[in-house]
Amino acid sequence: MSAMKERPTFPARLNTSGSKEEAKRPEAQRARTVHQLQTAAPGQLKSQGLGMDSRAVRMSMVGKLAAQGITDAQVLAAMGHIERHRFVDTALVNQAYEDTSLPIGLGQTISKPGVVARMLELLRQGAPAKLGRLLEIGTGCGYQAAVLSQLATEVYSIERLRGLHDKACENLRHLRQPNLHLLLGDGRLGFAKGAPYAGIIAAAGGEDIPEAWLEQLAVGGRLVAPVATGTGKTRQQQLMVVDKTAQGLRQTLLEAVLFVPLKSGVA
């Protein structure tokens, strides 16, 4: 794949979450604060003097995800750890922990936390430990890639727009995740060098599931992607789950979703 450029990985140093002050605070008090925050609106959080870098603000988002029905503890923990506000433009920081998609430039959007959590839960299918190698198509601002890096031993994430690929490299620098590899290329071709993948996840929806993804998925692996369904007035995108088993592929269509289009080539 000649257009693909592999970036060097970041030096190995893990970002341990939570501030020192938070660590010192007694457990009961911390639990009480989290409970208050889970029921608070974002405006209230601001008036309580909590900056967007506070772990408590993320815990509020996690509480809402759990209330929406997300039960996978590892997904909730990963989303509680990654600071979404670092991935959006300064003007949008106040909305970073609301369940909304936000513009990230070049006509693209960062997915809603609720949709990210749902797709990651499907991808993990209740696995007790970390997943193996994962492939993400559509790095965008890098948020979902960052969450994935908490859930898998290795993550390859492809973006076709150079401007966003560069932005994601910048946004992800602070995490210094040595297991996260950002690639510039046409994700429809997958990334054969990293295959086979325990999981493949797409953040952009096409007419079909590209053949390369199915080939690069490991037996026992799972793919989660939006795909176009229906015709005319019933035309929409739905989440599709594909399980690759020793007997063949098993496809399941789930709820309607709204993702940016999966396009070809690099721009």
- Contact letters (x/-) for ligand SAH, 189-218, by CB under 6 A? --------------xx--------------
Instruction: Rank residues 10 and 191 by Cβ distance to ligand SAH and give the closer one.
Output: 191
Applying CB under 6 A, the span of 21-29, 43-51, 120-128, 159-167 interacting with ligand SAH comes to 159-167
* Binding flag, residue 262, ligand SAH (CB under 6 A): yes
In this structure, are residues 160 and 108 in contact, taking their beta carbons and an 8 Å threshold?
A: no
State yes or no: is 111 an active-site residue. yes
Residue 60, judged by CB atoms within 10 A of its CB (0-12, 13-18, 19+), counts as buried
Least Å distance between CB 61 and ligand SAH? 15
Per-position DSSP letters for 59-109, written without gaps between them: HHHHHHHHHTT---HHHHHHHHHS-GGGGS-GGGGGGTTSS--EEEETTEE
- Choose, by CB under 6 A, the member of 65, 75, 96, 104 that binds ligand SAH: 104
Total residues interacting with ligand SAH, rule: CB under 6 A? 25
**Residues between 33 and 62 that touch ligand SAH (CB under 6 A):** none
Given its phi and psi angles, is residue 232 left (phi above 0), alpha (psi -120 to 50 degrees) or beta? Answer: left
In this structure, are residues 62 and 81 in contact, taking their beta carbons and an 8 Å threshold?
A: no
- Choose, by CB under 6 A, the member of 66, 218, 228, 260 that binds ligand SAH: 260
Euclidean distance between CA atoms 135 and 216, whole angstroms: 9
- Cross-strand bridge partners of residue 122: none
Q: Which residues bind ligand SAH (CB under 6 A)?
A: 104, 108-111, 137-138, 140-141, 143-144, 158-161, 164, 186-188, 203-204, 260, 262-264
